[in-house]
């Protein structure tokens, strides 16, 4: 039979969630003010309706939320104890017989729950929010550039000497499927027609697979080619107004990107690193805070609670520096960041569950 959470457990979870929510609101408020005044001057130059600026700020704030979420939630775990210590609630817990180990366990559960649920949601929302923020600013506000279209389900491109219809198979515009190209001269006379099952961009040329080619000089009779290479006037950058960095790609887009790079024998460490970080993102709030919460509780005494508080906050920022250092190394292509973060993550999780097990033994009277 599954036991229901006790009142103190619900209270701990509720308080960690409440402090996290308030902290996120404060941090996002700062970002909102910065983005608003940083972009307002540029926006006014374009003379567009103000609702477009509001739409941009809304989507940009969701991107900001993704960036600060794990750090703010992790810090909130320590701030919750700080508030309890200052209001004597922490002393009240201990007076009622709630052990420090129990508070550590329940705070850790709350951080794990918020981190995983919030992380999954933000990983799903980020690509959509990023696209809409960039699309609103670059396309709706700044204006569409000549001969460029927004990356969607299908590309339609009209250039000075060709017309293209294709389906994007990869988020950078370098890998296309179901390709149709019409090449014409300055008088708009058709010179050749091309159909291809797929094609990718490499070293300034488009390599097309399963090609059907018709050329004017041959009376437009079809030629069937397993593979052919062409130099067209359009390049991947020409095909997208909204260019998304690897950091903002969704997991399916990252997988497609990795497959494409493997197909053309290009390095794809950056994509592998980003895939790893997307999954690791769910546990960052917990890993940043768990040792700090332990230190806070371990050295907490009613008459001198500030010692535990400063030690806990200090450990939080040390953990933050560790994470940011190896995250930066990963994004620069140094794959040693993956084992360093995996060891850090496994150590934090193992240590936390060991502490929880010790609490269970003590409650069971087995020690």
Residues of the chain with pLDDT under 50: 1-3, 146-150, 366-367
Q: Could you count the other beta carbons within 10 Å of the beta carbon of residue 287?
A: 25
**24 touches 72 (CB < 8 A):** yes
What tokens appear for 273 in the block?
């690193």
- The whole-number pLDDT of residue 3 equals 43
What tokens appear for 276 in the block?
């790893």
Decide: pTM greater than 0.85.
no
- Alpha-carbon distance of 46 to 35, in angstroms, equals 17
- The whole-number pLDDT of residue 363 equals 64
- Alpha-carbon distance of 315 to 77, in angstroms, equals 12
**Residue 149 — left, alpha, or beta (φ > 0 → left; ψ -120 to 50 → alpha)?**
beta
DSSP 237-268: GGG-SS---GGG--HHHHHHHHHHHHHTT---
Question: Which residues are CB-contacts of 14 (< 8 A; sequence separation ≥ 6)?
Answer: none
The torsion angles phi and psi of 180, rounded to 5 degrees, stand at -130, 125
Q: Taking the C-alpha atoms of 327, 332, 338 and 343 in order, what is their torsion angle to the nearest 10 degrees?
A: -50
pLDDT tens, residue by residue, 86-128: 888 888 888 888 888 888 989 999 999 999 999 999 999 998 8
Q: Which residues pair with 206 in a beta bridge?
A: 201, 230
- Alpha-carbon distance of 72 to 21, in angstroms, equals 9
- The whole-number pLDDT of residue 282 equals 95
């Amino acid at each position: 039979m599954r036991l229901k959470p006790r009142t103190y457990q619900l209270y701990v979870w509720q308080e960690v969630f409440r402090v996290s929510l308030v902290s996120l609101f404060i941090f996002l408020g700062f970002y909102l003010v910065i983005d608003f005044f940083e972009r307002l001057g540029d926006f006014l130059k374009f003379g567009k309706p103000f609702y477009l600026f509001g739409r941009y700020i809304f989507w940009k704030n969701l991107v900001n939320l993704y960036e600060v979420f794990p750090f703010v939630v992790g810090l909130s775990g320590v701030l919750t104890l700080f508030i309890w210590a200052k209001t004597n609630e922490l002393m009240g817990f201990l007076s009622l017989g709630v052990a420090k180990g129990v508070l550590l366990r329940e705070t850790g559960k709350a951080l794990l729950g918020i981190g995983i649920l919030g992380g999954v949601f933000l990983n799903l929302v980020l690509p959509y929010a990023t696209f809409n923020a960039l699309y609103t600013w670059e396309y709706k506000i700044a204006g569409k550039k000549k001969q460029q279209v927004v990356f969607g389900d299908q590309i339609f491109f009209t250039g000075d000497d060709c017309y293209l219809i294709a389906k994007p198979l990869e988020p950078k515009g370098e890998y296309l499927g179901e390709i149709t190209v019409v090449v014409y001269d300055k008088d708009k006379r058709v010179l050749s027609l091309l159909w291809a099952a797929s094609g990718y961009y490499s070293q300034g040329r488009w390599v097309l697979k399963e090609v059907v080619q018709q050329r004017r000089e041959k009376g437009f009779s079809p030629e069937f080619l397993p593979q052919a290479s062409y130099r067209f006037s359009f390049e991947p950058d020409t095909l997208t107004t909204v260019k998304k960095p690897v950091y903002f790609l969704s997991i399916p887009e990252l997988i497609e990107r990795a497959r494409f790079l493997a197909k053309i024998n290009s390095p794809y460490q950056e994509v592998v690193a980003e895939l790893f970080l997307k999954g690791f993102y769910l546990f960052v709030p917990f890993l940043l805070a768990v040792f700090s919460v332990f230190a806070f509780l371990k050295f907490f005494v009613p008459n001198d609670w500030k010692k535990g508080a400063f030690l806990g906050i200090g450990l939080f920022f040390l953990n933050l520096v560790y994470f940011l250092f190896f995250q930066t190394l990963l994004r620069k292509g140094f794959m040693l960041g993956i084992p360093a973060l995996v060891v850090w993550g496994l150590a934090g999780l193992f240590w936390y569950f060991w502490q929880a097990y010790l609490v269970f033994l003590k409650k069971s009277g087995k020690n």
